[in-house]
Structure 1
Amino acid sequence: MARLLHHTLDPASRLARLMFAEYGVGVELEAIKPWSRDPLLLEINPAATVPILLVEDHEPPVVGALAVIHAIEERFSPTTVEGLFPATHAGRAEVWRLMEWVLSKLNDEVTRYVIEEKIVKRDQRGGTPDPSVLRVAKANLVEHMLYFNWLFATRHWIAGDVMTLADFALAAHLSCLDYLGDVTWETSVETRDWYARIKSRPAFRSLLSDRVPGMPAHRGYADLDF
């Protein structure tokens, strides 16, 4: 069985977990704290980031979000269920455009700051979050949500008429932020309705049962109807 090195609230790791679950493929999860810079982790990935996928003993580890996404799609995408990439060139281009938006822009402007301030600092010698950083991240999230609301007002799924990997990528990020209570769903009705649909999928169940020791999930995190 494949093994995934991850952190519970790392969105890229959550994306990989959603792919495995959607495709009905079992994977062994090994939780780590990448910011601890464990020598064993650094030996595998000097960048000290997750996810890291270990498939076979004789094969090198698959490191990083894009490499892991490709490996899961290449090795484990079944023919019995609909895949997460559209059949058309235009459809795939839109998926990758939105994937880049989420994995780069949303992450760099919002998610990584929230995780750093609320999770990493707390774990490192009891550090406290910087309110000014969180205010900026919150303001950036408002702008992102306005764009997502516009998309969901014109589409059933984020990249078009069918669910794709881009939906899982956005759901992975928003689920982390929702766990920490940083999403104001009341002002994001279109995105909230989409999120209610996607978090009702069987693939989402393990994410909704995640808990960080000493940090309970925000109220409503695991509720399918908010």
Structure 2
Amino acid sequence: MPSLVHYPLDPASRLIRLMCAEYGVPLDLEEVKPWLREEALLELNPAASLPILFTDAEMPIVGVLASIHAVEDFYTPEAVGGLFPAAPLDRAEMWRLAEWVLVKFDDEVTRYLIEEKIAKRDQRGATPEPSVLRAAKANLNEHMLYFNWLLASRNWLAGEEMTLADFALAAHFSTLDYMGDIDWAKAGSETRDWYSRLKSRPAFRTLLNDRVVAMPPSKGYADLDF
């Protein structure tokens, strides 16, 4: 059975968990806090980043991009298509938006909120910086406008079929939703309806059961009708 070194609210790890759940691949999970930079993690990945996927290969598969390709290469069920579109231009649009989420959205929104709200809890005397939280929330609002604009003319984020880009954004949204950083009452209806479709998939159940010690999820986090 493959295993994953992860942190429950790390969106990159959540993406790999979603992919494996969608493909019916069970995972053993080993939880770490990457910001602590513990020796065992640094021996696997000197960058101290997640996820780290162990398959039948002799060496671990390190990082979100390598793990995405490993899951798609090793575990895509033969009976169904994977999350990568077959057509080159459709695949290019998928990667454009996957990169938007994994790099731009993470750098401007998710990473700051995790650092301020979660990582600082392990730093003695550290408290969240209000100005950083305000900037991340402002960035989130701008991204939400763009996602809503896209979804107003498409069934899914990158086009008419569900792709990796949808799972990437849903992984980030699920982390932000857990922390209570998305105001769904003010979110665009297209984005809210899109997330409801993703959240209702069986693959999402494992994420909705996650709980972080001393940090319960926001109200409605596990509700399919929110």
Instruction: Give yes or no for TM over 0.5.
Output: yes
TM-aligned CA deviation for residue 54 of structure 1: 1.2
Corresponding position of 2:217: 217
Give me the whole-angstrom Cα distance separating, in 1, the residues matched to 2:141 and 2:5: 31
The correspondence of residues 34-49 of structure 1 with structure 2, limited to 5 A, is: 34-49=34-49
- Alignment length, in residue pairs? 225
Secondary structure in 1 matching 2:136: helix
Aligned to 1:117: 116
Per-residue displacement from partner, 1:90-142 (whole Å, max 9, x unpaired)? 11000000001000000000000000000000122252110100000000000
Between the aligned partners of 1:126 and 1:64, the Cα distance in structure 2 is 31
Alignment-mate amino acid for residue 170 of structure 2: A
How far apart are the structure 2 equivalents of 1:103 and 1:126? 30
Asked whether 1:95 is paired with 2:94, we answer yes
* Counterparts of residues 1-226 of structure 1 (less than 5 Å): 1-56=1-56, 59-125=58-124, 127-188=126-187, 189-226=189-226
SS of the residue corresponding to residue 162 of structure 1 reads coil
Cα separation, 2, equivalents of 1:49 and 1:145: 26
Counterpart-to-counterpart distance in 2, 1:82 and 1:222: 28
| CA-CA distance at 1:36 after TM superposition | 1.1
Structure 1 outlier segments of 4+, above 2 Å: 123-127
* Amino acid of the structure 1 residue aligned with 2:84: F
* 1:49-104 CA-partner distances (Å, limit 9, x unpaired): 11001113x61111000000011111111112231111100110000000010000
* SS at 1:185 equivalent: coil
* Structure 1 SS opposite 2:185: helix
2:5 is paired with a residue of what secondary structure? strand
Task: Quote the Cα distance in structure 1 between the aligned partners of 2:123 and 2:211.
Answer: 19
Question: Whole-Å Cα distance in 2 between the matches of residues 126 and 76 of structure 1?
Answer: 44
Q: Which runs of 5+ in 2 are unaligned?
A: none
Structure 1's unaligned 5+ residue stretches are none
Q: Partner amino acid for 2:51?
A: P
Mapped partners of 1:122, 1:40: distance in 2? 21
Shift of 1:7: 0.3
Whole-angstrom CA distance in 1 between matches of 2:207 and 2:59: 27
Q: Which residue identity is paired with 2:136?
A: A
Alpha-carbon deviation of 1:179? Answer: 0.4
Alpha-carbon spacing, 1:126–1:194, altered in 2? closer, same or farther (3 Å): farther
Looking at structure 1, the residues matched to 211 and 44 of structure 2 have their Cα atoms a distance apart, in angstroms, of 26
Instruction: With the length of structure 1 as denominator, give the TM-score of the two structures.
Output: 0.98
Per-residue deviation, residues 155-197 of structure 1 (Å, max 9, x unmatched): 0100111111100000000110000010121222211110001
Instruction: Quote the sequence identity (%).
Output: 67
Instruction: Report the secondary structure of 1:187's partner residue.
Output: coil
| Cα distance in 1, alignment partners of residues 17 and 123 from structure 2 | 26
The answer on whether the counterparts of 1:23 and 1:81 sit within 8 Å (CA) in structure 2 is no
